Structure formats: C-alpha cells, structure tokens
Structure 1
C-alpha cells in the first residue's frame, strides 16, 4: 500500500518547479495554491469573486481526484492581493463551504505569479483510509 498519492499538475510550471496539484498522505490531502487562469479567461482580471470560484473549483477537483470532497475540507487559506478583495472572496468561500465551515485564513500578499491574478486558495482535508496502488 502506498502512503503517498500525488495528483499531477498539467501546466508547464509543475514540471519546471517539481510540484503536484495535490498530495495525499494517508488520510490527509493538501492542495497547492490554486488560481484562475487569467490568460485563458481575461474577463476574470479584476474579478475577485470570479477568480475565487475558479480557484476553488480547481482545488476541489484536485481534492476529489485524491479521494476527498467538499465535506472533507477542514482548512482553507485565501490569498488576496488587496484587502478590498477579502469580502468578495470570503463570500465565495461561503458559497462553497457554508455548511462545512472549515477553518479559514485570509492573507494579504503583494502579488501572485501572473499579472492579473488577485486570488489564490489552498485547501486541506481528510479522506477515508484506503489502499492505493
């Protein structure tokens, strides 16, 4: 039984920087920071809520691939580039996790990797123990 399972990231940076979209270690599942693809979806530039929705979908998709779901999330970290984005991002967090109510931390950062990105999210959760080939 393998104790570590990696959910691969398909973008070029993952190969260059050597990271996974998510990693499951036993029951624990952790995601990398997830952001909106503002190059492919330029209409999301400046839209904190829209970027948060896309980032949460990406992170939750990785959680599902690792065997966990929305109700298994116990911690979220929300990174925003300006304090004015905290409220719209927090409201989107509530749309996804209002019933689950994981812990949540909002961090104001000076910038994200790509110009136009204003939101990044990380999730942590637990899945049921299972055998992994």
Structure 2
C-alpha cells in the first residue's frame, strides 16, 4: 500500500502534536481511530462522570470517521478502557445508547490509569468503508 493510499486526520488534541500521532487513519477499507478521551483541547468534559466521558469520547471518535464520509453505521469495532471497574454499567449504558443499532464487536478493559488522573474512560473505534478505489 502506498503512502498515498493512507490518509490521516487530526482533531486538534495537544497530545497529537506532542506525541506525533493522528486522531484517525484510513488505510484501504478500514478507518482506525486512536485512543480518545473526553478532552476537547485543554478541557476535560464530564469530570467525575464516566457516562458523560464515554459519550464525549465516542462523539469525538465519530467526528473523526465523519472526516472520511462515514457514520456510526460503519463502526465495526470499539475498545473501551476504564480506570475503575465500578464504572462498567455507566460506560455500558453510554455504549449501548450510541451503538445498539449497529452492534459492533467490543472489548472492555480495566487499566491501571491514564496520563491525567481525571480521565475515567478512553475509547477506540474501527470503521469499515467498503470497497475503496485507490
């Protein structure tokens, strides 16, 4: 696959610049969204609220796949990392509200923590865009 067949988008997160990564990358028929939290710029949305952080993080991820002309119906995989297992019900409720109609495969993990201790949730999304002309 040539570098022209790979397209990247940024969301403006300061971590994208400092760590050198893209918010989302399209390669062939896949669009993969990097780990995404409820930060928008320097502001964390839903501080202390795992449900709200999940909705905001997935909202940012869905905005990223929209850059490639895709919507939520194109999502085939999600990954959710939680800081606390006690938040699984709130996070699951937010996930179901967003993805119940498309039912992607998902992985849910409890992790040791995040770079910023106020972050309770990080999400990843993978979408399928079908046959792509290259």
- Asked whether the two chains share a fold, i.e. TM above 0.5, the reply is yes
Q: Which of residues 54, 57, 63 is equivalent to 1:61?
A: 63
5+ long unaligned stretches in structure 1: none
Alignment-derived partner of residue 18 in structure 1: 20
Q: How does 1:26-65 map to 2 (within 5 A)?
A: 26-37=28-39, 40-41=43-44, 44-65=46-67
Where do 4+ consecutive residues of structure 1 move more than 3 Å? 128-132
Q: Partner of 1:75: helix, strand, or coil?
A: strand
RMSD value, Cα: 1.8
TM-score, with length taken from structure 1? 0.90
TM-score when normalising by structure 2 = 0.89
Change in CA separation of 1:128 and 1:67 when aligned onto 2, cut-off 3 Å: farther
User: Does the 8 Å CA contact 2:77/2:105 hold for their aligned counterparts?
Assistant: yes
May I ask how many residue pairs the two structures share in their alignment? Answer: 131
1:88 to 74, 87, 90: 90
